[in-house]
Structure 1
Amino acid sequence: MNDLKERIAAELIAVRDRSLAYTAAEDDMLVRQHSPLMSPLVWDLAHVGNYEELWVLRAAAGIEPLRPEIDDIYDAFKTPRKDRPSLPFLGPEEARRYIGGVRGRVLDVLDAIDLDGPSPLHRDGFVFGLVIQHEHQHDETMLATLQLSGQPGLVREGALPPGRNAGSEEVYVPAGSFLMGTDTLAWAYDNERPAYRVDLPAYWIDRLPVGNRAYAAFIEAGGYDDPRWWSTEGWAWRQRGGVTAPLFWTRDGDTWWRTRFGRTEPVPMDEPVQHVSWYEADAYARWAGKRLPTEAEWEKACGWDPAAGRARRYPWGEQDPGPDRANLGHRAAHPAPLGAYPAGASAYGAEQMVGDVWEWTSSWFQPYPGFRAFPYPEYSEVFFGQEYRVLRGGSWAADPAAVRTTFRNWDYPIRRQIFTGFRCARSEPV
């Protein structure tokens, strides 16, 4: 148990270092709203501390509230992002003091708590996993805000392995059942539970995410001008917004350029395409004679081990992600080249299924059979229905602590500011 507490303490330190790094900027940068799609950066910073206070200090440890007067300010459901600049949120220095005070008390709670206790919040450190993953998710949101700000010099770069020709374009997944979701991963969210058996017909799925070169070919072929490839809703969205390329792409002569964290550079054709909406991904798949995979198809291709008859935590197995297996945890501020991670392949041979880009699926965000909301319905339950499409896999900006083969993300099909891409699938001919 001491090993688990040491791991939790290390994760708490790592995620806080990340949050502070993304908010190490001038105050004006932090309090300004860079897009109505996003909160001011300093709101996110104090919000993660308030969430940590609510769940670790109050719910798990029964400690009296430190700053109850700010709860409504940092309740994400009370004020939409576009209206948050009008809130009396804490300024940068006060926000840092507040989250630091919360964190000191959280570490005291961690030292004293029984992680074998009967409370489901305590057991296996679930409540700590909850706040660690939540903060990492907001760190990724901060990166999306920094991208929209257009300000250079605020996001660190890093080195990634080279790409390679990965061989066949698709991998084959035979017909059969698999266990979807989890009953065993201690920090999994309620929407990943319970595990249940799903039977799928055979299908093919792309070995790699769709790359920029392939996506540019779709543009060159008039993909944005032909309603045949678009759903009715997607075509209306494309026309309404005048969309002609992925977000942050521009064209100069024969060259495509992208703006990335305040710098303009040629689009690297060997990287997975990112910043595309579900509608764009769906249109490309139709143009290519394929379709987007269902969520179940994606998870089976990613995490099922047919030889062992069980699910893997990561595509390659149970070992933690390392620099040779996946582009996670902001190793660099962009996707890795296609084919960069052969050691990260799944049992079926699909590569780069975690890291690089969140991958759109064709599925709506729905509960699994036997779903039970925990620890609060606003994490998952209120989003179920036919408004949000499921994304899988995690991007380069996602941390390994918040990524696994069963993890489910979701968003509106119009969203492009997040680090989204996709891969295609097709059914086996009958």
Structure 2
Amino acid sequence: MTTDKNLIAAELERTRARTALLTDAVDDDDLVQQHSPLMSPLVWDLAHVGNQEELWLVRDVGGRDPLRQDIDHLYDAFKHARRDRPALPLLDPAEARTYVAQVRDKALDVLDRVRLDERPLVDGGFAFGMIVQHEQQHDETMLATHQLRAGGPVLSAPPPPPPGNRRVRGEVLIPGGPFTMGTDTDPWALDNERPAHVVDVPAFLIDAAPVTNAAYLEFIDAGGYQDPHWWSARGWAHRQEAGLTAPMHWAGEGLARQFGQIVPLEMTAPVVHVSYFEAEAYARWAGKRLPTEAEWEKAARWDPETGRSRRFPWGDDPPGPEHANLGQRHLAPAPVGAYPAGASPLGVHQLIGDVWEWTSSDFHGHPGFRVFPYAEYSEVFFGGDYKVLRGGSFGTDRAACRGTFRNWDHPIRRQIFSGFRCARDLL
């Protein structure tokens, strides 16, 4: 990113505007309600982003006295499970809005006064970028909560662009050999994206686009949810226990629930709201597999002409609206082929945006990983029951998405905006 304080302030304000959009769209009763035991009440997320901003920017970077030290324990994500948060004595909507506004005033004053080269935490504006990304991640979580809430639509956005003139299908060959995974140079990259290291990846084939609703429907129609042959033992046990028969939010007869509306299923768009186990079963049925995390990143970043790893599939420039479906500009994945300008040099499409893509990799630190600035962001999740997702979704902001960015979740989760593409070994 940049050490330009005006640009950092603009990112903070742009992010807060999105938070306001997501929380002002509903009334106070909706804000304090828990729409799913998987999610916090929206009012908890609102105050939580303010509390994190206070902890890091006001108290740590700024060295200022606490505003509300008495509420720290209420908004510590490790102290209270999401299902238990509605019972806590949380700030009410008016109090939460006042609190986050007061924190922001102090944080901007800290930004105005701090030197951005005085210690690693603020080098390149890192602490401010960390807070921008944290809030944007919670904005995406709040967007997922909106998808789960009952009632009529409260959010609106134009439809995604149509597919391009060139049909995108089939597989792309990614040649074998080494490439640089991770980063040492992106100033806002988080600790689990570091350090840069060389990985030798054998040649493989990867789908040119994510698996679409139409393709996934073929799996369903072929009895994919009834045949344990395609599922791992854990996946089949979960499918039976949870009664899975289709992606979450499918409403039957070619329809889907989408932010308070029933809409026709866009057959050419990537399938969304599928778990790792569902993605794994589809891939096996299709005679393929899910890509490893290293394979996904090589397909997304490696430039065969120069041998270097790009920041994004299209190059090092930040995402524009022509590159990817990001930032809640639309409220659904775009049809395959809608972003030809965002393709990788080898012709792999929509690696960034639209849907988070499950990989077959467990979540661990890169070789040489070092905690920075706190273990609870990444390290405490290493070695747990988490699978890595890559690439971001239509609900992911550009500030929290790049070719090195890593997401992770339990393999049963599907309230997130998750999809996948397949890969296979060369025969």
Q: What TM-score do you get using the length of structure 2 for normalisation?
A: 0.98
Deviations 1:302-347 (A, max 9, x none): 0111222221111100112111110001111000111101110012
Question: What residue number does 1:7 align with?
Answer: 7
Opposite residue 428 of structure 1, the aligned amino acid is L
User: Is contact 2:3-2:125 (8 Å) kept?
Assistant: no
Question: What residue number does 1:333 align with?
Answer: 331
CA drift at 1:278 = 0.2
CA distance in 2, matches of 1:3, 1:301: 30
Question: What residue number does 1:162 align with?
Answer: 162
What SS does the corresponding residue of 2:403 show, helix, strand or coil? coil
Matched, 1:312 2:310: yes
CA distance in 1, matches of 2:405, 2:151: 31
CA distance in 2, matches of 1:238, 1:277: 10
CA distance in 1, matches of 2:190, 2:154: 32
What SS does the corresponding residue of 1:224 show, helix, strand or coil? coil
Question: What residue number does 2:198 align with?
Answer: 197
CA distance in 2, matches of 1:418, 1:283: 18
> Which of 288, 293, 296 is 1:295 aligned to?
293
User: Is contact 2:169-2:209 (8 Å) kept?
Assistant: no
CA drift at 1:387 = 0.5
Opposite residue 363 of structure 2, the aligned amino acid is F
User: Is contact 1:72-1:78 (8 Å) kept?
Assistant: yes
Matched, 1:131 2:134: no
Deviations 1:234-274 (A, max 9, x none): 000001111100001122xxx22111111111211011000
What SS does the corresponding residue of 2:104 show, helix, strand or coil? helix
Question: What residue number does 1:153 align with?
Answer: 153
Deviations 1:14-67 (A, max 9, x none): 000000110012100000001000000000000000000000111111111110
Task: Give 1:74-153 correspondences, 5 Å limit.
Answer: 74-117=75-118, 119-153=119-153
CA distance in 2, matches of 1:67, 1:404: 34
What SS does the corresponding residue of 2:89 show, helix, strand or coil? coil
CA drift at 1:167 = 4.2
CA drift at 1:404 = 0.3
Question: What residue number does 1:21 align with?
Answer: 21
Question: What residue number does 1:214 align with?
Answer: 215
CA distance in 2, matches of 1:261, 1:325: 24
Task: Give 1:183-194 correspondences, 5 Å limit.
Answer: 183-194=184-195
Spell out structure 1 runs of 4+ moving beyond 4 A.
none
What SS does the corresponding residue of 1:122 show, helix, strand or coil? helix
CA drift at 1:142 = 0.3
Task: Give 1:254-265 correspondences, 5 Å limit.
Answer: 255-265=253-263
What SS does the corresponding residue of 1:314 show, helix, strand or coil? coil
Using a 3 Å threshold, how does the CA distance of structure 1 residues 33 and 167 change in structure 2: closer, same or farther? closer
* Aligned residue pair count: 425
CA distance in 1, matches of 2:264, 2:320: 28
Deviations 1:328-383 (A, max 9, x none): 01111000111101110012211100000000000000111111111000000000
Question: What residue number does 2:413 align with?
Answer: 415
CA distance in 2, matches of 1:144, 1:104: 28
Identity of aligned residues (%): 60
Question: What residue number does 1:71 align with?
Answer: 72
CA drift at 1:2 = 8.8
Opposite residue 258 of structure 1, the aligned amino acid is A
Question: What residue number does 1:179 align with?
Answer: 180
Opposite residue 79 of structure 2, the aligned amino acid is K
What SS does the corresponding residue of 2:263 show, helix, strand or coil? strand
Opposite residue 149 of structure 1, the aligned amino acid is R
CA distance in 2, matches of 1:318, 1:229: 39
User: Is contact 1:22-1:154 (8 Å) kept?
Assistant: no
User: Is contact 1:58-1:64 (8 Å) kept?
Assistant: yes
Task: Give 1:217-256 correspondences, 5 Å limit.
Answer: 217-251=218-252, 255-256=253-254
Opposite residue 266 of structure 1, the aligned amino acid is P
Opposite residue 281 of structure 2, the aligned amino acid is A
Opposite residue 364 of structure 2, the aligned amino acid is Q
Q: What TM-score do you get using the length of structure 1 for normalisation?
A: 0.97
Identify unmatched segments of 5+ residues in structure 1: none
CA distance in 1, matches of 2:377, 2:236: 31
User: Is contact 2:168-2:337 (8 Å) kept?
Assistant: no
Identify unmatched segments of 5+ residues in structure 2: none
What is the RMSD of the two structures over their aligned residues, measured on CA atoms? 1.2
